[in-house]
A and B are shown apart, each in its own frame.
Chain A
């Protein structure tokens, strides 16, 4: 099993409690207004809600210092989008894992049978319908009706399988984007297919909520299916899916005979190869929101296994040396390159970007279970986009897009929210 709280005891015991997890990397802080990095501590304020506080909570659980699992404890544990900003901020000074103890704490509690009522709905839906949205499995492929795209579940063969992801399949507004995506790929001459009603959830939500048993089932069956389909590439619009396939699937020890690409990487490649060309201008001042799962959380995670040796008296030397994922190798440039190459567009960065990007607030089941936290977090992002004069905010994740849109509707602003594919379609 990959989420074992006891594997992270040393990390949890060596937190310096310096609070770096509560801020963007200090050298990257640009203003007081946007000086938070963690939605959870920013919203709820008790230390427990920070990366360090969550490590202390995890340690207390692992050491048996919390004998009663209260509803409030569960609320604290799950009032967190597991966006990983704490982890990136910690790691430019230390080599501790922060995000994985957070996941593992959840897995520990879930293993004991503790979770929120909403989670049992999500997990039931996964078990029965292969998606997290409580939608019928049979309807999963409906978004692609009439597109004339190959269906690999019916034995057709293609070089690339397009994995739309749960939200793109079922949300009417978002499934239009999935349709556009397939059309774009076909227009660029890509030999693309889908898995129709046989496509399943990537397991990301289950993983992030700590239900790793459920996650493993989906991950293993996806890997097996793609291997069996003989595809060279899996291209997905779902940033959560991409993040989990890149960072966690490889830990399951199954050979993955395909390359995983996010749609932004693929479109960027097709644009750079001249297979897609922009012809229309998009005259707007646009900023880009990095989805956590496409950014810092898509970096392949290598759990450290080794021995600790004491040298120089008490210096704890890890052998072999630990590979530290700082979130610096996420997918940051491809979406930016796409935006920059749209004629007439004026691209402007927000203050918190890339590995220290502010989360939209939807991740890790928070949108489904604690919409107030999700919307508050999104409204902070919208304020940030406006502060740099953004007329539109572009993103590349269905959850981010949906959440930001709802927050704009709620706050009554005029900021436009675009999926990057929408932008590309409009500019072609």
Chain B
């Protein structure tokens, strides 16, 4: 169903002819979405047009046209993943790329106000000039600050010290699916952006709750996020050591190290203790495969992997970063760390002492710029499974379940042998919460591999249900009705609430519900 010309003209009047397109070549390029596609790289459903609004007013006008003429719309920020595309025929895509301004950095109150297409790295470099830093999600600094804060999960390993995107969210400007504008928290009262809630029930729970609405509940056009103290230099100078850009000078009072533990239980115990002690700046459990791929070319990686050295050294290990505000604090944190390691049998991994590793990881933990290298480079296809934002114990239970399940598929040869346990995970929010997800790599252009990965994902969802491991987070192929329908009845019928929210806020079902929740029971 192509967009009628008169409808197209209505949108065109809003954004101007340069900022709307239904050219087949443009639509095709938007349909290229390997992450989340079951097989290959192409989405099955094409948007009828892509629209590039530049202001809230334009978004409002577009939403109103959609409501009036029964057209479904779907917003995207950086657009990484199939869930960014409409899942129904006849819909239009709103690419928010032109809404890319950092509207304010309030140094004193430590927050920034951003539009949807500001990426984490843009905010970080501007924040650092003012002695501040921002939380960056695990997917990398090439992702939108606003998207993870308002709409999708939001965990990152710097969350040990810089929270969680959902929790860092302050004031929000929200264009409802109907086209009305609602301002959450203090901006609603014209009192600045410092707070996301007013008196009364929190709308932050409505707009995102646990994992976000994945663009299915209107468009968040502005939001404020918390910033955090940055004790490093205002500008980080890099040097080139192929293929990496690494810090030219080590950062004072920062220490990066990989620690390994005799068992996963001990690792969990150490993470918990470190959280309780409220030390550390960044922590992430890194699998041998993830670390190996950060450091090596394909052939080197395979050669190293086949020696078994990486697996041995990094079997149960995490990367821990201390970044203190003073030498005294640095010494204190070191001492606490030593004690925790003593209690849990943790050992510093020899690999982390090399200068190369020090430079590389110090840069990577600040910049979070090398995710593609470890996830997509080897096989092309990548996905993630399970997913906890809960207790350390739940995270560990998921890892154990995931390991067993993945081994089965690795033995079948349909997914990459990454040692099975390829989980990126650990405590966040100052140790009160723990996160995990189980990565898997496969060849999305190989039918058997793609099919195998899909079966694995399906089976992993079932395992979560059967073993009471919570609901999966990033199951892009499963998000929306499928997932919520599957897990709702096991989790206090939360899906019914999602549907009710969707109905209330989107009476015409104008905002594509595919990745969120259908209004129908």
Contact = CB atoms under 8 A, between A and B. Distances in A.
Interface of A: 13-20, 23, 25-32, 35, 44-48, 52-57, 59-60, 65-66, 68, 70, 72-73, 76, 91-95, 310-319, 321-322, 324, 326, 328
Contacts of A72: 21, 23, 25-26
B28 interface: yes
B205 to A, nearest CB: 30
Nearest to B369: A26
Contacts, number: 203
Contacts of B24: 66, 68, 70, 73
B142 A94 contact: no
Contact of A60 (B28, B298, B371, B415): B28
B219 interface: no
A70 B380 contact: no
A355 to B, nearest CB: 8
Interface string B156-185: 000000000000000000000000000000
Given A14-B380, A57-B25, A26 B367 contact: yes
B424 interface: no
B52 interface: yes
Given A26-B369, A47-B26, A56-B32, 11 more contacts: A14-B34, A19-B78, A25-B369, A32-B118, A32-B122, A46-B50, A56-B28, A56-B31, A94-B377, A315-B417, A326-B243
A13 B446 CA distance: 12
Contact of B29 (A14, A32, A48): A48
Given A35-B121, A45-B19, A26 B442 contact: no
Interface in B358-394: 363, 367, 369-373, 375-382
A66 B243 contact: no
A48 B142 contact: no
A76 B25 contact: yes
B28 A66 contact: yes
B253 interface: no
Interface in B240-280: 240, 242-246
A384 to B, nearest CB: 15
Given A28-B245, A321-B298, A324-B243, A23 B380 contact: no
Contact of B446 (A314, A322, A324, A328): A314
B33 interface: yes
B511 interface: no
Nearest to B40: A13
Contacts of A60: 25, 28-29, 32
A26 B142 contact: yes
Given A26-B121, A321-B297, A315 B50 contact: no
B298 A318 contact: yes
B102 interface: yes
Contact of B415 (A93, A95, A313, A328): A313
A27 B363 contact: yes
B503 interface: no
A381 B176 CA distance: 39
A23 B123 CA distance: 13
A17 B33 contact: yes
A326 B25 contact: no
Contacts of A52: 32
B496 interface: no
B80 interface: yes
Contacts of B445: 13
A25 B245 contact: yes
Closest 7 CB pairs of A and B: A56-B32, A16-B376, A26-B369, A48-B29, A14-B380, A27-B245, A93-B372
B299 A31 contact: no
Interface string B409-449: 01001111110000000000000000000000111011001
Given A91-B243, A312-B302, A314-B416, A31 B125 contact: yes
